[in-house]
Structures are given as structure tokens and as C-alpha cells.
Structure 1
Amino acid sequence: DYEENGEKKTETKYSYNTEWKSEVVKSKSFDREIGHNNPSSMAVESFIAVAADVNVGNFHLSKGLSGEWSFLGRPDVVTIVAHQKENQLTPYQTQSGNVLELLYEGSLSAVEVFEKEHAANSMLTWALRFAGWLLMFVGIKLMTKIFHTLVDWIPGIRDLVSLGLTVFGLCVATSLTLLTVAMGWIFYRPLVALLLGILAAMPILIARSRHRPKML
């Protein structure tokens, strides 16, 4: 930023670098297109090639295991969890209906493999829980926005109502999320489900305890 003739002006400088890109970069959006013309199409299109037959030692891998093999060359050791049928490694169907078909680089014990899978599943579960909570919170905020609109023209009350609606949305979204998780645990861990249900009801219990009618 600089001043010229009493006016504040902003000068923007652009730089151009040559880089490898997997997609076409349109040079029409450049500030100076002259001398920086990019091709309109890729000279070589990228693609993923999966070998039809992949073997580990004397064992032939299924398509699912072959797809997990994303490295080139021959690694020293890999660890595979699958169903062995003669020299074929195929998906293993569990009693719960899930499919086990895992491949890891290196030599891992069964405990280490399933610890890795458990950690990955835990991260995915918590990510989905947070996403569900966030969607609930946003939905509640949108539904209660009408109350903020009604007092939007009153500065002091507007801020208090906005704060109150935000706290209300946080409490309700958290309670609904805990209740949803509790319903998922009710048949597998009843005590955990009961504890989560109590935590979900805490905002209601606290609110009722503060507004008990006074005895004369």
C-alpha cells in the first residue's frame, strides 16, 4: 500500500513459476497472459494401472488386495489378513457380515494389524460423530434464527438473544448427539448407553432444578 496525491493505493505484484501439475492450469486467468501461455490439454494423461495378476510369494492376491498395493517394486515383507484357499488369498467373510481383506507393508503380528484397524475405525467414528454434531448445531441455529430476526433492531437485546440461542443450540446438539450414540451402544454396552443417556439429559435436569417452584 502507498499514497499518491493524497490517495491510498494498493499495488499487487504477480510472480509466475513453472511447476508440474496433474491438471490443466488455464493461463487466461493470469494477469499477464503474454509469455505465460499454458497448453489447453495435457500432453500425457495420468491414469492408474492395476496389475491383473499380483502374487506374494506363492500366493495369488485378490483384486481387493491388489488395489491396496500402491507401491512399485518388491517390498521385503508384507502382512496380509485374508482367507487362504489353496494358493489364493481371498476376502474373509466374518460372522457379522463384514469382509476382512487387509494388507500392510512390513512384518506385523495379528495384534498389531488389528490395533491399526481399530485406531483407523476410531478416528473415522469420532469424525462422523463430530460431523453429526456440527450438522445438528447448524440445523438448530437455522431453525432458531427467526427469534434473532425478531429482535435484530434492538442492539442490547439482540446480542443477548444471539448468545442465548447459541448456548441453546450447543446444549441441544450435544444432547442429541449423546443420545444418538447411546442408542447405538444400548445392545452392546448398556452401562455406557445409560451413562450417555444421563449426560444427554443433564441440560434438562439442570434447567428443571433451577426453576423449581418455591414452597410457601
Structure 2
Amino acid sequence: MFDAKNTTSSAQLQLAGNTIYYQTNNITTPEIGNTRISYKIISPQDISVIYKQSGDMLVPYQTKNGSLISMIQLGRSTAEEMFKNAQNSNKTMTWILRFVGALLLFVGFQMILGVLPVVGSVIPFIGNIVGAGVGLVSFLLTVIIGTVVIAIAWITYRPFIAVILFAVAVAGFVMLRNKSKKLVK
């Protein structure tokens, strides 16, 4: 962009804060062809990285199974600390996503079954009873389907936990079936 043919004079450059404006008459009204360059100064500090050195560059490390590892962290840390931090953040994110998934399942079942309390509200107190039943059924369906999905995901990595989750799902299904039989009587 800036070569010998395209010499710049100080009249073409304007500095405002941490931004250099090139070929502009007024920095508040940009025009086509103007160039804006922003910069940020970062003071030297210690960082820890997990990368692979390739010549004078750092590139993501490719594991035997083909996944790439690239981690950077402020301060000095050992590789063990960095991997432990990454595992902890993965666990936290996994539990957050499980909770959000279960919440979405519950809301979805509430929306699907939400018409039943409206139909039951023809008789005043029946609508409230049906609404409570819909909430309970939505909760049990969420427990059943949520645990089955998590168990399927864990079959390969944690088969013992997957079996326990399948048992919880079966117990929830049995409870739901027994509740529905009681409601029919």
C-alpha cells in the first residue's frame, strides 16, 4: 500500500487517539478511498502457550487422532496446569449446555402440552389440576429424554454412567406410566 511510487506526506496523515487516517480531509466524515489504521500497544508480559514450533512460527499441534491443540494463557503456567484449566472450562461449558438443553426440552414440552390446561379450563378448577399435571408430565419427559440423550453420548466414553442414566430414564418412564394410569382411573 505504501511504496516508493505512493509516497506519503504528513499532510495526508492524521492521528486521532490510537487511529491513523490516510488520505482524508475530515476524520468525522469518511469517504470512499480513505484508509484507517488502528493500533494497540501491549506491554511485554509472560504468556504460556501450547503449540508446535515450526521454524520461526508457532502452529497448532496436531495429535495422533487428528485434532488440533492451540492454547494461550497469560502468565507462566505449566503444561499440566494449562490442560487442567482447559478440562475444567470444558466441564463447566458441558454442564451449562446440558442445563440449557434440559430447559429447552421442558419449555418445548410445556408448549406442546400447553393446550390441555386451556381445554380443561372450561370447568374452572379442572384447568388448574390439568396445568399441574402438564408441568409434572413435562418435567418427567424432560428427565427421561434428557438422560437418554446424555447416556447415548456417554456409551463410548463412560459406559457405567451411561447404564445408570438409562436406568434413571427407565425409572422416569415407569413413573410417568403409573401417573397416567392413575389419572385415567
TM-score computed with the length of structure 1 as normaliser? 0.62
User: Which sections of structure 2, spanning at least 5 residues, go unmatched?
Assistant: 1-26, 31-35
Corresponding residue of 1:73: 43
> What are the superposed Cα offsets for residues 161-183 of structure 1, whole Å, 9 maximum, x if unpaired?
10110011011112111110100
Give the Å deviation of 1:145. Answer: 1.4
Match of residue 100, structure 2, among 102, 119, 131: 131
Give the Å deviation of 1:207. Answer: 4.8
Corresponding residue of 1:148: 117
Corresponding residue of 2:175: 206
Give the Å deviation of 1:155. Answer: 2.0
Give the Å deviation of 1:198. Answer: 0.7
Give the Å deviation of 1:108. Answer: 0.6
- In structure 1, C-alpha distance between the alignment counterparts of 2:39 and 2:86, rounded to whole Å: 24
Give the Å deviation of 1:154. Answer: 2.0
Corresponding residue of 1:191: 160
2:43 partner letter: G
Structure number with higher helix proportion: 2
Q: Report whether the alignment pairs 1:170 with 2:170.
A: no
TM-score computed with the length of structure 2 as normaliser? 0.71
User: Which sections of structure 1, spanning at least 5 residues, go unmatched?
Assistant: 1-41, 52-70
Q: Please give the secondary structure, in 2, of the residue aligned with 1:79.
A: strand
Q: Report whether the alignment pairs 1:112 with 2:81.
A: yes
1:192–1:107 CA distance, 2 compared to 1 (3 A): same
Give the Å deviation of 1:43. Answer: 4.9
1:176 partner letter: I
> What are the superposed Cα offsets for residues 125-160 of structure 1, whole Å, 9 maximum, x if unpaired?
111111111111111111111211211232211111
Question: After TM superposition, which residue ranges in structure 1, 4 or more long, deviate above 3 angstroms?
Answer: 42-45, 47-51, 206-212
Corresponding residue of 1:28: none
1:44–1:174 CA distance, 2 compared to 1 (3 A): farther
Q: Please give the secondary structure, in 2, of the residue aligned with 1:104.
A: strand
1:73 partner letter: S
Q: Report whether the alignment pairs 1:122 with 2:86.
A: no
Give the Å deviation of 1:192. Answer: 0.9
8 Å CA contact 2:137–2:176 kept in 1: the answer is no
8 Å CA contact 2:151–2:161 kept in 1: the answer is yes
- In structure 1, C-alpha distance between the alignment counterparts of 2:137 and 2:124, rounded to whole Å: 20
Corresponding residue of 1:30: none
Give the Å deviation of 1:113. Answer: 0.2
Corresponding residue of 2:52: 83
1:84 partner letter: Q
Corresponding residue of 2:14: none
Q: How many residues are matched?
A: 150
Q: Please give the secondary structure, in 1, of the residue aligned with 2:58.
A: strand
